[in-house]
Structure 1
Amino acid sequence: METIPNYDRWQEVEQLRAERNAVANKMKGKLDPSVRQALVEEGKNLKEALITLEEDLVQLSDKLQLEAQSIPNSTHPDVPVGGEESSVVRKEVGSQRNFSFTIKDHLQLGKELDLFDFDAAAEVSGSKFYYLKNEAVLLEMALVNWAISEVSKKGFTPLITPEIVRSSVVEKCGFQPRAQNTQVYSIENSDQCLIGTAEIPVGGIHMDSILLESSLPLKYVAYSHCFRTEAGAAGAATRGLYRVHQFSKVEMFIFCRPEESDKWHEELITIEEDLYASLGLHFKTLDMATGDLGAPAYRKFDIEAWMPGLERYGEISSASNCTDYQSRRLGIRYRPAPPESPPANAKKGKGAGSGPTQYLHTLNATAVAVPRLIVCILENFQQEDGSVVIPEPLRPFMGGLDVLSPKPK
């Protein structure tokens, strides 16, 4: 990486500011006109030099920030080394269903059940957009409400987030909105982007804050629409609802003390596994290899569910421990609480025993990525007569509807 004399330039700026302030202080008293004029000239020269140096410092800082963003987080010592194929299966739940009839994929089922319309959406918005119709609308809302309800029981605070955020927040969360092949939609002639995940606005909710240790962990479950360019994604395995430009998602997010992030990472993946097991899905949990970790992730667990119509396992969620990668960039710290029994020789006064502030750890995990769960439900629970059985946990959120049946022709 190119050496950038950022610190030296900062020192020069600070020295000039000090000299400018010294000149300003000298001019406060009664002075001979010639002396005052000399000080005015000196102050003017210092101001001009300072403007040049400050502009230079901003450019150097921006350049340093771009260099820093190319450096990923470190990885957990237990993370498998290699590409995606080196990822290790941690757990497998259920088994593939044996069908006694010729199965259909979710596209054919959706057409026969009149659940979505890709053709009209392509005319209105472009490829990889869709209209949900009829019971599919109820199914999306059921999945969202069910997930928020279940996760809230675990002490998570529900949120609905903004879906447009500043580019700087996207970058601080570890994404690069202006990079080549980015998945981020940027808004032209602005410093704003559409979010690809609620992780970004939730991560920014405590930006530039110092939190009390007693408030930790902070746990949120957030609903949002997500927008992704999905650059380069194509092929039969990603057809239909599997990979789209806009979708709804329920995301879990935790701010915690550094020593507790591994524990909360296990808690997040357990919540995900319990959710999908309760729906009756067959899935496997993977400890993702180093080559498949995004820049912020210290460790990432993915869940891949069996999608019989697509004839493959497909990712339906992930859970990532980002340690302090995001909190350092977002400026989120916490102040440790003073010990319950301070030493006898401890100094009294403001902040006694609390120590310096520390950067906390952030974690994120998908509770429900709606389109992919719809794919799983339609393809796994289809019946020979073309109907689809709704998993029991979702039925109260669908007005008691338990089966999607083909429409009369």
Structure 2
Amino acid sequence: MRSWSGPASSPKVGTRPTKSRRPSGGGGHDLYLTGTGEVGLMGFHKDEILDADDLPKCYTTVSTCFRREAGAAGKDTAGVYRIHQFDKVEQVVICKADEAESRAWHQKMIGFVETVLQRLELPYRLLQCCSGDLGPKNADMIDLECWMPGRYGGGEDSDGSREQTNRRPTGAYGETHSASRLYDYQCRRLNLRYRDHETGKPVFCHSLNNTVLACPRFLIPVMEMYQNEDGSITVPTALRPYMGGAERIG
């Protein structure tokens, strides 16, 4: 998945792109470095009327993402928790305009992430985001937070920022995943519809997105939870087949 998009795509998906100039030939074009892979995935069906029998559309992408992180006010800038460029596995579902179906897909997408965390045996919790923390595009959002022993704050309800305490880190939960329901917010702006079999009329689809894995942030709980006293890291059992059978690093 490409990591840039034109000005017609990002705003309609509901993201705030970082503007960039990409030279082409003798001049430049207005392009945007995308902050999430959902921008490109949602743009696949812009201005289309899909057949109801072809729904849901389920997509997964791996892309490089870019964030200004201007609203972070310098928090969590040390280490790799909050950086300007990272790689992310993103899922997008486009389904019928049915609340029950939308909610069911939301739970299923959260389940994908929970399966990953459980196979890696990482402590985590689910956080229901309140309406004040939701962006204009979100109808519902669930964050999944992993326990990170090296974070500052001294408690599970802390935000883990280094500035909170001069003591040694005692651990805190940190956000690693997020799954959102958007109803028809994005699809209205993208003019993405499907034809209802009963009425024969086009109806705006519903969309959902889910962060399955974002690196290097996700390496924080993996490395900290599996680090040994000598500094080496035990490779989680689920990852050993992908690591040539290695059981230990360092």
* TM-score over 0.5 for the pair: yes
Partner Cα separation in structure 1 for residue 173 and residue 20 of structure 2 = 31
Partner Cα separation in structure 2 for residue 232 and residue 356 of structure 1 = 42
Letter in 1 for 2:221: C
Deviation string, structure 1 residues 249-268 (Cα, Å, up to 9, x no partner)? 00011000121111101111
Note if 1:245 corresponds to 2:84: yes
Map of 1:303-382 to 2, 5 A cutoff?
303-310=144-151, 311-337=171-197, 354-382=199-227
Conservation of the 8 A alpha-carbon contact between 2:76 and 2:82: no
Shift of 1:336: 2.1
Deviation string, structure 1 residues 71-108 (Cα, Å, up to 9, x no partner)? xxxxxxxxxxxxxxxxxxxxxxxxxxxxxxxxxxxxxx
Partner Cα separation in structure 1 for residue 74 and residue 6 of structure 2 = 33
Correspondence for 2:21: 187
Q: Equivalent residue of 1:294, what SS?
A: coil
Partner Cα separation in structure 2 for residue 378 and residue 386 of structure 1 = 10
Partner Cα separation in structure 2 for residue 218 and residue 294 of structure 1 = 24
Go from structure 1 to structure 2 and tell me whether the alpha carbon gap of 1:190 and 1:214 turns closer, same or farther (over 3 Å shift).
same
Partner Cα separation in structure 2 for residue 203 and residue 390 of structure 1 = 36
Partner Cα separation in structure 2 for residue 223 and residue 176 of structure 1 = 20
Q: Equivalent residue of 1:186, what SS?
A: strand
Shift of 1:292: 0.8
Conservation of the 8 A alpha-carbon contact between 1:187 and 1:194: no
Q: What is the Cα-based RMSD across aligned positions, in Å?
A: 1.6
Q: Equivalent residue of 2:201, what SS?
A: coil
Go from structure 1 to structure 2 and tell me whether the alpha carbon gap of 1:393 and 1:287 turns closer, same or farther (over 3 Å shift).
same
Letter in 1 for 2:6: R
Greater shift after overlay, 269-278 or 230-239? 230-239
How many residue pairs align between the two structures? 224
Normalised to the residue count of structure 2, the TM-score between the two structures is 0.85
Correspondence for 2:3: 163
Q: Mind listing any 5+ residue stretches in structure 1 that lack a counterpart? A: 1-160, 178-183, 338-352
Map of 1:189-204 to 2, 5 A cutoff?
190-204=29-43
Shift of 1:167: 1.7
Map of 1:55-94 to 2, 5 A cutoff?
none
Q: Equivalent residue of 1:187, what SS?
A: strand
Correspondence for 2:249: 404
Correspondence for 1:172: 12
Normalised to the residue count of structure 1, the TM-score between the two structures is 0.53
Structure with greater helix share of residues: 1
Q: Mind listing any 5+ residue stretches in structure 2 that lack a counterpart? A: 23-27, 152-170
Correspondence for 1:233: 72
Go from structure 1 to structure 2 and tell me whether the alpha carbon gap of 1:234 and 1:277 turns closer, same or farther (over 3 Å shift).
farther
Partner Cα separation in structure 2 for residue 244 and residue 202 of structure 1 = 23
Q: Equivalent residue of 1:295, what SS?
A: coil
Deviation string, structure 1 residues 373-405 (Cα, Å, up to 9, x no partner)? 111111111001111112122222222222111
Partner Cα separation in structure 1 for residue 71 and residue 14 of structure 2 = 21
Go from structure 1 to structure 2 and tell me whether the alpha carbon gap of 1:281 and 1:313 turns closer, same or farther (over 3 Å shift).
same
Partner Cα separation in structure 1 for residue 119 and residue 77 of structure 2 = 25
Note if 1:273 corresponds to 2:114: yes
Partner Cα separation in structure 2 for residue 187 and residue 379 of structure 1 = 39
Deviation string, structure 1 residues 244-298 (Cα, Å, up to 9, x no partner)? 1111100011000121111101111111111111111111101100111112110
Structure with greater strand share of residues: 2
Partner Cα separation in structure 2 for residue 287 and residue 370 of structure 1 = 23
Partner Cα separation in structure 1 for residue 21 and residue 126 of structure 2 = 36
Partner Cα separation in structure 2 for residue 305 and residue 322 of structure 1 = 24
Shift of 1:239: 1.7
The correspondence for 1:298, drawn from 139, 151, 159, is 139
Conservation of the 8 A alpha-carbon contact between 2:91 and 2:210: yes
Q: Equivalent residue of 1:167, what SS?
A: coil
Conservation of the 8 A alpha-carbon contact between 1:185 and 1:227: no
Correspondence for 2:234: 389
Correspondence for 1:288: 129
Correspondence for 2:60: 221
